[in-house]
Structure 1
Amino acid sequence: MYSTLPEWLSHLESLHPKAIQLGLDRVLSVKQALGVVQKVPLFIVGGTNGKGSTCAMLERILRCAGYRVGTYTSPHLLSYNERVRINGEPASDEALCAGFSEVEQARGDTALTYFEFGTLGAWQVFERANLDVIVMEVGLGGRLDAVNAFDADCAIITSVDLDHMEYLGDTRELIGREKAGIFRAGRPAIVGDPVPPQTVIDYALSIGAELKISGRDFGFAGDRQQWGYWRREDDRLVKRGGLAYPALRGANQLLNASAVMTALDTLSDRIPVSLGDIRLGLATVELPGRFQVMPGRPAVIFDVAHNPHAASVLNENLSSMGFFPETWAVMGMLRDKDIAGVLQRLKGRVDHWMLCDLGGPRGTAASDIAAMIAESGIPGSVACHASPVDAWRATRARAGADDRIVVFGSFLTVAEVMADYSRTPRTVEGDATPPAQG
C-alpha cells in the first residue's frame, strides 16, 4: 500500500481509535493469519524500570558469543528503526515496510493499535533475518501486552513499581500480577526485583514456572573495582567473580546484570555463552538515554526517568558523581505520570528547574509543573519554556563550565534535546568538542 516508512507509520497511527488498548485477541488472530511459528529461543523482558538496560545487556552478550540477535524495544528516541534491531543495527526502512505490508495483508478487518501492528511487523522482520535468538521488551504491563502474544522461552521481570496505574492497577500487587503474565509453565521466570509482590510469586508457582528471585536464588556483591555473581543450582552455590562493572552507569545495573546472567544460564543448553562473552558484553554494552553522561563541560546527562522509582535511581546516580557547583534540570513530562512523585524524589538535588511544555493530549504544561514545585516547597529557581529545545538552549547559555545539566522526564524530552545536542558543536572555553553517543 505504501512505499515509505513515514507513510506506513502514519497508517499505523490511523487504524485504531485508541493509542493504547490492552488485550491479546486482535494480535493473536493476526499472528495466526500470518502463520507465525517460533523457531529460535525467545527472551521476553518486562518490568517497571530496567527493561531497556536488560535487553541491551542480553543483546550485547549474545552478540559477543557469535549469535545473530533480533531485538525489539520501545519507545524509540530518534527514529522508529531503533525499535527493531538486527545484530545491534536498526532495521532498514525497506525491511520494516516489507514486514508492515505482510501484517496489513493478514489483518483483514482487524483494527490493530500502533504498538500491536509494530510488534507483529517486527516479528516479520525477524522471520527474514536468519536469527539465532530473539529479545523482546514488553511495552506496557505484560499479561495483555502485544509482546505476550509470543511465548517466552525465558521471561524476565526487572522491577515492579507504580506506573501506568490507569491500566495496570494502583498497587504493586495488582501491577505485579499483570507483569507476571509473561511467565510460561515449565519455563524459566527470572525476577530481578529483590522484593517482588507476592502476586508475582503466587502466579509463577500456580502455573509451574521455574521461578528464580534476586537475593534468594541468585545475586551479586562487589567493591569499587569489581563485582561477583552467584546463583543456587540444586544444592550447591555457583560463583563467578572478578567481573568488571557494566558499561551502563548506575548501581542498579548490577541488579539487571545478575538477572541477565541467570537468564542466560537457564538456556545454556540451547544458546551457551562463556564467561568471556559475558565479560566482554557487559564491558561494551551501550544504551542511549539511560544515565548517559556525555563528554565535555558542563557535564550533560540524558536519562529517560519518568516515574518515582526511576527518579530515585537517577537521584542516587547523581549523588555518586562528585561535586558540581550547580545542577540544572531540563524537565518535561506527560500528564499521565506521577509528576509530583518524581519531583519529590529529586528534592534538594536540583538548583535550577528549566521546565518545558510537551505537546499533544498527554503533554503537561511547564507552568503546571512549576505550580507543583511551588506547592511542594521544592527548592531551586524555576523557569518555563515552550519546548524541550528552548529549555535546553536557555540552560546551555546559563550553566557554568563546572556545572552539570540533567535532561529527563520523558522519552520525548530526551529525544528532542538529544537531537539538538547532536547537531550543535559544544564549545567550552573556546575549545570545540564534537558530540558523542553512548
Structure 2
Amino acid sequence: MQRSLDDWLAYISAQHPSAIALGLDRVREVAGRMQLKPPKVAITVGGTNGKGSTCAFLERILLECGYKVGCYTSPHLIRYNERVRLQGEDVADAPLVESFERVEAARGSTQLTYFEYGTLAALWLFNERNVDCAILEVGLGGRLDAVNIIDADVAIVTSVDLDHQAFLGNTREAIGAEKAGIFRKGRPALFGDVGPPESLVKHAQAIGADLQILGRDFGFALQERQWEFRGRRSKKHALPVPALRGTWQLKNASCAIAALDEVADRLPVSLGEIKRGLTLVRLTGRLQVLPGQPAVVLDVAHNPHAARSLADGLLDMGFYPRTIAVFAMLADKDIGAVIDALKGRIDEWFVASVASDRAASATQLTEALAARGYAGVTRSFATVAQALDAARREAAPNDRICVFGSFYTVAEALEASR
C-alpha cells in the first residue's frame, strides 16, 4: 500500500537519531545518486531574520514576469506542502510523495535528517519541472545547511543576529561566518543590513565573492508613499510601498531587486513587473493583520532581532487604546530579551505553551514577565487558542491583539481562527 504524505513525514522524522545534524556529506552523496542537475538559476537566501520575506519578494516578482519558479522555504505553519511551491502554489500531496519515494530509493543506507529529505525532494521536483529559477531558503546557518549543496548564482544573507547559538556560536561574528558559507567565488554575495560582521566580510574577500552591502553598494530611499531603489546596476524610482507591512521590508525588497539585477541577463525583469510583485506579495505571519475587530496581528518573531522589528511595526500601525499580547515561545530561545524588546508596546500579556517538545511552559513565561515587573498584567492559559479566545472576549473593538513568539504560536492562532 502506498504511503500517504503524512505517512512519509512520520517516516522521515524517524530516520535520523538527531533532529538537526549539520553537514553536507550525506545530502551530497544522495543528490549524486539522484543525478540532480543544478537549477538554471539558483538564488539562495540565508540570514537570522528576513529570509522568508526576501524569498516571497523574489518569487512574486519572477512570477509576474511569467517565469517558471520553484521556491523552497521552512518551517511551515499549517501543512508541510507550504515548504515547496511551484508557480506560487503549494505543491500537492502526490508530487511530494513521489519526490520522497525518489529520495528513499536513492539513499540506500545513508541516514538523512527530516530537513535533508525535504531539501532533496524539493530539488528533485524543481529538476522535474525544469524551473527557470529555484529560490532556496537556508534552514539553519548556511555553511553546513543542506541547501548549500547548490552553488548559488546569487547568495543573500539578509541579517545576522543571535539565534540558534547551540549550533552556530554565541557571537555575531561566529554566526556571521556560518551564514557566509553560502557565498561563492566570483558570484554576487549580498548582505541586507548595515554593519556586517567582520567575519562575513573577510570570508567573502578570502574566497573572491562579489560582496555587496546594504547602504554601501545598494539600498533604498523612502519617500512619501513610495520609495526608490539604488543599486550597482540600476536605479528604480517611484516604487510602491510593499504589501508586507513594516519599514524593514524595504531592506528585504532591496535585497530581492539587487539579486534580480545580478541575473538580469538570464531573467530580465521590467520595472512594471517589480511594481506588481511588490504590491501582490503575500506572506503569512509577518505583521499580518486578520480581518475584523479587534485587530489581530500575527508575527512569527521568535528572537530579539525580530522582536525589535515587531516593536517598530506595532508603533508604525498607529494608536490603539490597548494592546494585548498572546505570547508563547520555545524554551531554547532568549525569552527575556524578546520581552525586553517589546517594552512600551504591550499593555497585557496572555501567555500559553505551544504544542512542541521544545515549548517553554506558561509558568516559565509568567516568571520571566514577573521578573521584569509585568506580574500584575499577566494571565496564564493552557493553550494559544484559549489565550486568543480570552483576548478576543476582553478586548474592545478598537483594541489590538498581537500574537507572537514562534512559528508554532502563529500556526495555532491561525488554526483557532478558522
Same fold (TM over 0.5): yes
2:333 pairs with 1:337: yes
Q: For 1:127 and 1:93, how far apart are their aligned partners in 2?
A: 18
The corresponding residue for 2:388 is 392
Q: For 1:225 and 1:357, how far apart are their aligned partners in 2?
A: 40
The corresponding residue for 1:272 is 268
Q: How does 1:80-99 map to 2 (within 5 A)?
A: 80-99=80-99
Letter paired with 1:109: S
The corresponding residue for 2:371 is 375
The corresponding residue for 1:120 is 120
| TM-score after normalising by structure 1 | 0.94
The corresponding residue for 2:407 is 411
Q: How does 1:148-297 map to 2 (within 5 A)?
A: 148-233=148-233, 238-297=234-293
The corresponding residue for 1:311 is 307
Q: After TM superposition, give the deviation of residue 239 of structure 1 in Å.
A: 2.3
CA offset digits 1:233-280 (Å, max 9, x no partner): 5xxxx4221111111000001111111111000111111111111011
Structure 2 residue runs without a partner (length 5+)? none
Letter paired with 1:226: Q
RMSD of Structure 2 on Structure 1 (CA): 1.1
The corresponding residue for 2:73 is 73
Letter paired with 2:340: Q
Letter paired with 1:123: L
Letter paired with 1:85: R
CA offset digits 1:146-198 (Å, max 9, x no partner): 11111111100100000001100011100000000000111110110111101
Contact 2:68 2:87 in 1 (8 A): yes
The corresponding residue for 2:353 is 357
Q: For 2:48 and 2:2, how far apart are their aligned partners in 1?
A: 35
**1:35–1:128 CA distance, 2 compared to 1 (3 A):** same
Letter paired with 2:387: A
Contact 2:355 2:408 in 1 (8 A): no
Give structure 1 regions of 4+ aligned residues with deviation exceeding 4 angstroms. Answer: none
The corresponding residue for 1:432 is none
Q: For 1:62 and 1:417, how far apart are their aligned partners in 2?
A: 31
Q: For 2:144 and 2:210, how far apart are their aligned partners in 1?
A: 21
Structure 1 residue runs without a partner (length 5+)? 423-438
Q: After TM superposition, give the deviation of residue 380 of structure 1 in Å.
A: 5.9
Identity of aligned residues (%): 53
Letter paired with 2:127: E
2:3 pairs with 1:3: yes
The corresponding residue for 2:135 is 135
CA offset digits 1:99-154 (Å, max 9, x no partner): 00000011111111111111111111112223111101000000001111111111
Q: For 1:377 and 1:2, how far apart are their aligned partners in 2?
A: 56
| TM-score after normalising by structure 2 | 0.98
The corresponding residue for 1:320 is 316
Q: For 1:219 and 1:2, how far apart are their aligned partners in 2?
A: 51
Q: For 1:379 and 1:137, how far apart are their aligned partners in 2?
A: 39
The corresponding residue for 2:56 is 56
The corresponding residue for 1:300 is 296
Letter paired with 2:329: M
User: What is the aligned residue count?
Assistant: 418
CA offset digits 1:312-359 (Å, max 9, x no partner): 000000011111111011111001111111000002211110100123
